[in-house]
């Protein structure tokens, strides 16, 4: 299937590891000109070389860096057609009353404010050109909160609510807003949470209906479709990719 992404400029944040990297690879394989954005210069450069993209150092915790990133990408590659909002999750906390004000603010800044500021910069141009795709890499916790993930549980639905409003406003202009909601995916973060990848796989076998962890590429393929011309009539949606783990419909 031709996804119609050849020469489209795609900005992917958090693009050097796990799901973000898999999405960057999938978009590059479809012919998109991918802007690889992440915090660590060495990882950014390595990933950009590996997928044939362009690297940009960006820390989503620094709101002043948003304009610099958008300006740099558009100066080098042209107007941004596709934006994949991805970032690592905030730290685990066992009690929702435990996080400090600084931790709440940091999580809100990275998970909600930073991507909304990127959208503020790029969505008007997308509307003028009649094409745009925004995909957030969220989490199943946006649908069904999980113990120990209070910072994610509270903040991830906020970004989806903002995108839902934009989806309705921009639908007639050819600009769509969607999200993928991964469950347990075989990433370094998942392995770290369980002590090892083998332990994470064993837990998934016992607890996930699919009896395994998902693979980053399985999330990436879904995200690439939502970024494509073929998905022009899909907007304001959140797609669970969790092997059946979430109990809500």
Domain CATH for 106: 3.40.50.720
Is residue 195 in some structural domain?
no
Q: How confident is the model at residue 97 (pLDDT cuts 50, 70, 90)?
A: very high
At residue 231, φ and ψ (nearest 5 deg) are -100, 25
Predicted confidence at residue 227, as pLDDT, reads 98
pLDDT bucket at 249, cuts 50 / 70 / 90: confident
Task: Report yes or no on 248 lying in a domain.
Answer: no
Indicate the average pLDDT of the chain. 96
Query: What per-residue confidence (pLDDT) applies to 123?
Result: 98
**CB contact at 8 A, 143 and 156:** no
Give the strand pairing for 54-57 and 33-38.
parallel
Overall average pLDDT of the 63-90 stretch:
96
192 versus 83: the higher-pLDDT residue is: 83
In which band, very low, low, confident or very high, does the pLDDT at 89 lie, cut at 50, 70 and 90?
Answer: confident
Would residue 112 count as lying in a domain? yes
Cα–Cα–Cα angle for 112, 120, 216, rounded to 5 degrees: 50
| The pLDDT of residue 135 is above 90 | yes
Residue 240, pLDDT > 90, answer: yes
Within-domain flag for 3: no
- Out of 85-94, 104-113, 137-146, pick the least confident: 85-94
At residue 172 the predicted structure's pLDDT band, cuts being 50, 70 and 90, is very high
Closest C-alpha among 133, 134, 156 to residue 143: 156
Q: What is the pLDDT of residue 88?
A: 83
CA angle, 146 then 203 then 214, to 5°: 80
Mean pLDDT in residue range 65-70: 98
Q: With respect to residue 15, please indicate whether it lies within any of the assigned structural domains.
A: yes
Q: What is the pLDDT of residues 184-223, one digit of tens each?
A: 999 998 998 899 999 999 999 999 999 999 999 999 999 9
For residue 26, the model assigns a pLDDT of 98
Give the residue-averaged pLDDT of 92-114: 94
Alpha carbons 29 and 113: distance in angstroms, whole number: 30
Q: Containing domain of residue 112, as a range?
A: 9-185+215-241
Closest to 163 in 3D by CA, of 89, 223, 237, 231: 237
Q: How confident is the model at residue 51 (pLDDT cuts 50, 70, 90)?
A: very high
For residue 206, being part of any structural domain is answered with no
Give the CB-side neighbour count of residue 19, counting CA atoms within 13 A: 30
Q: What is the mean pLDDT of residues 89-110?
A: 93
pLDDT at 59 over 90: yes
Residue 173 in any domain: the answer is: yes
Domain presence at residue 207: no
Please tell me the total count of domains within the chain.
1
Is this model's pTM higher than 0.95 or not? yes
């Amino acid at each position: 299937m031709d996804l119609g992404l050849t020469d489209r400029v795609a900005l992917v944040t958090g693009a050097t590891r796990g799901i973000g990297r898999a999405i960057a690879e999938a978009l590059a394989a479809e012919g998109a000109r991918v802007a690889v954005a992440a915090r660590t210069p060495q990882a950014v450069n390595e990933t950009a070389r590996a997928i044939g993209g362009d690297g940009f150092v960006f820390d989503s915790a620094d709101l002043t860096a948003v304009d610099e990133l958008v300006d740099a990408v558009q100066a080098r590659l042209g107007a941004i057609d596709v934006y994949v909002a991805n970032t690592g999750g905030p730290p685990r906390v066992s009690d929702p009353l435990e996080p400090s004000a600084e931790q709440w603010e940091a999580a809100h800044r990275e998970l909600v404010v930073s991507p909304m500021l990127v959208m503020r910069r790029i969505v008007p141009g997308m509307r003028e050109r009649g094409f745009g795709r925004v995909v957030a890499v969220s989490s199943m916790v946006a649908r069904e909160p999980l113990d120990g993930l209070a910072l994610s549980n509270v903040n991830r639905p906020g970004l989806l609510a903002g995108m839902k409003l934009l989806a309705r406003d921009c639908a007639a202009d050819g600009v769509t807003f969607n999200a993928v909601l991964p469950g347990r995916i075989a990433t370094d973060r998942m392995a770290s949470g369980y002590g090892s990848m083998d332990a994470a796989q064993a837990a998934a076998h016992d607890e996930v209906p699919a009896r395994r962890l998902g693979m980053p590429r399985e999330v990436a393929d879904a995200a690439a479709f939502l970024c494509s011309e073929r998905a022009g009539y899909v907007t304001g949606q959140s797609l669970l990719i969790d092997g059946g783990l979430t109990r809500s419909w």
